[in-house]
């Protein structure tokens, strides 16, 4: 398939592109390149792509494409809370526009990178399945719910949207993010000897390795239409349904000499959900996640050591919010996060 991969120069896209290529697909990227230089280790070999803002996509970008995998977004809660209206412009309106253009161009399948944080304040009790009530507690999560709703309305006999609700990702990517929980805690452990948890550690936060997300999207691309058409899927595995305190314990075991410090200074985090991942396994027989949290912590610790992660890079270069703030302060991007020419 010829696949348009938006966000191909992000944390997940950089891992996903080679997995798609290895599966025999032709990948064309599309990304504004906001974090293209945020690389830890050797520079990745990106597929050919369009450097374009999602808000400026035209019919030309989707012409001749068999499927779209849509990852490009302001990708976490802090970014979303920085400028909620921008989050809705980029994550919601521009995504729906892209989907319409894709449908009009005859693109058959549209895999949308949603998130388990659509469940929001689901509490810690029963496992939440895809039909559970959606209770987003941030603009970021709300933007994902709105896109799911609008794409659902576009589904028809020729256009198959699929809602991939990923757990929180972890693991090494050449375009690292240190602002997601496991990647962050391993970095803290190595740099300071402390596995620093600012919340009270109690929230449930299911995790999934970036490579497992890449494999899940690749499988969804060619799964029988009737198995995935207009359906939502939680992407992850039950063994990685863990509390933040448990994640911290795993990190302390993986990074020798480090110890867990739970400060609780940010209080209880309302985002808490334990997730049922069985629907995707049933829809795509043979698929399962391969990575555990512990394996991911060991992999990250090795990568951070090998590529000599510094405190400065940890706090600035690999923290999405800090990168955008710095670009804005330097006048490189305007206040709508568009590159100034
Ligand atoms: N990483 C996770 O834990 C996680 C979990 C669930 C869902 N997701 C979703 O997966 C997707 C990818 O996440 P990621 O971790 O790779 O994030 P990321 O921030 O590393 O990558 C996002 C990419 O989108 C691009 N982008 C942002 N705004 C753009 C715009 N206006 N025009 C064009 N490109 C733009 C960025 O340049 C970047 O390359 C996002 O939609 C995110 O919400 C991520």
Q: What pLDDT is attached to residue 247? A: 96
What would the mean pLDDT of 217-242 be, rounded to a whole number?
A: 97
**Ligand 1 touching residue 13 (CB < 6 A):** yes
The token pair at 147 is: 């896109």
- Collapsing DSSP to helix, strand or coil, 29 comes out as strand
Model confidence band, residue 120 (pLDDT cutoffs 50, 70, 90): confident
Which secondary structure element, helix H or strand E, spans residue 262, and what is its range? strand 259-262
List, in order of start, the domains of the chain with CATH numbers: 2-329 (3.40.50.720)
CB 29 within 8 A of CB 9: yes
Check residue 124 and give its pLDDT.
Answer: 64
Rounded Cα distance, 179 and 195, in Å: 14
Q: Residue whose CA is closest, atom 18 of ligand 1?
A: 10
State the virtual CA torsion across 72, 73, 78, 84 in degrees, nearest 10: 170
In 3D space, the residue among 88, 101, 118 whose CA is nearest the CA of residue 159 turns out to be 101
- Tell me 118's DSSP state: G
pLDDT band of 312, cuts 50, 70, 90: very high
pLDDT of residue 316: 94
Question: Which tokens in the block code for residue 128?
Answer: 């939440």
pLDDT at 79 over 80: no
Q: How far is the CA of 69 from the centre of ligand 1 (A)?
A: 12
To the nearest whole percent, how much of the chain has pLDDT over 70? Answer: 98
Q: Does the beta carbon of 35 sit less than 6 angstroms from any atom of ligand 1?
A: yes
Query: What pLDDT does residue 273 have?
Result: 83
Alpha helix segments (H runs only) across the chain: 11-22, 59-62, 77-82, 84-87, 95-104, 139-154, 181-192, 210-222, 225-228, 244-254, 278-283, 293-306, 311-312, 320-329
Asked if residue 203 has pLDDT above 90, the reply is no
Q: pLDDT band at 259, cuts 50/70/90?
A: very high
Ligand 1: distance of its center to the CA of 257 in Å? 33
Cα–Cα dist 86/336, whole Å:
7
Q: Copy the structure tokens of residue 228.
A: 């995935």
Measured in Å, residue 113 CA sits from the centre of ligand 1 at 9
Q: What is the pLDDT of residue 222?
A: 97
What mean pLDDT comes out for the span 39-46?
A: 96
pLDDT of residue 267 exceeding 90: no
Q: From the centroid of its chain, how far is CA 13? A: 9
> How much of the chain is helix, strand and coil, in % rounded to 5?
45, 15, 40
Position 9 scores a pLDDT of 98
Q: What is the mean pLDDT of residues 301-324?
A: 96
CA of 76 to the centre of ligand 1 (A): 8
More confident residue, 265 or 222: 222
The pLDDT assigned to 80 comes to 67
Averaged pLDDT for residues 78-104: 90
Distances (CA, A) of 32 to 9, 36, 306: 8, 9, 29
Distance CA 185, CA 72 (A): 25
Evaluate: CB of 289 within 6 angstroms of ligand 1. no
DSSP state of 45: -
Q: Is the pLDDT of residue 84 over 90?
A: no
Q: Atom of ligand 1 at shortest distance to CA of 76?
A: 43
**Mean pLDDT of all residues in 245-261:** 96
Cα→Cα distances 39→162, 181, 212, 317, Å: 30, 19, 21, 8
């Amino acid at each position: 398939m010829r696949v348009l991969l938006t966000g191909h120069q992000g944390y997940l896209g950089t891992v996903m592109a080679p997995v798609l290529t290895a599966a025999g697909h032709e990948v064309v990227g599309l990304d504004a390149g906001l974090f293209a230089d945020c690389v830890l280790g050797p520079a990745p070999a990106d597929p050919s792509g369009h450097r374009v803002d999602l808000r400026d996509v035209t019919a030309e970008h989707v012409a001749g494409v068999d499927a779209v995998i849509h990852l490009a977004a302001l990708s976490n809660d802090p970014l979303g809370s920085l400028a909620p209206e921008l989050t809705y412009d980029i994550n919601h309106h521009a995504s729906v526009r892209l989907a319409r253009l894709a449908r009009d161009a005859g693109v058959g399948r549209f895999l949308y990178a949603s998130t388990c944080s659509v469940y929001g304040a689901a509490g810690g009790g029963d496992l939440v399945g895809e039909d559970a009530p959606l209770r987003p507690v941030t603009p970021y999560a709300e933007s994902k719910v709105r896109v799911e709703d609008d794409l659902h309305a576009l589904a028809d006999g020729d256009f198959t949207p699929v809602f991939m609700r990923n757990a929180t990702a972890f693991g090494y990517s050449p375009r690292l993010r240190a602002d997601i929980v496991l990647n962050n805690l391993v970095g803290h452990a190595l740099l300071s000897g402390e596995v620093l948890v600012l919340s009270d550690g109690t929230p449930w936060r299911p995790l999934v390795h970036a490579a497992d997300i890449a494999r899940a999207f690749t499988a969804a691309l060619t799964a029988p239409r009737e198995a995935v058409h207009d359906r939502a899927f939680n992407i992850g595995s039950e063994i990685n349904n863990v509390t933040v305190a448990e994640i911290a314990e795993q990190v302390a075991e993986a990074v020798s000499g480090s110890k867990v410090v739970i400060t609780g200074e940010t209080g209880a985090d309302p985002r808490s959900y334990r997730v049922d991942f069985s629907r995707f396994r049933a829809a795509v027989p043979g698929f399962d996640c391969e990575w555990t949290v512990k394996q991911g912590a060991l992999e990250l610790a090795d990568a951070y050591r090998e590529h000599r992660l510094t405190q400065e890079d940890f706090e600035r270069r690999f923290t999405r919010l800090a990168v955008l703030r710095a670009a804005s302060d330097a006048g490189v991007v305007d206040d709508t996060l568009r590159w100034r020419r």
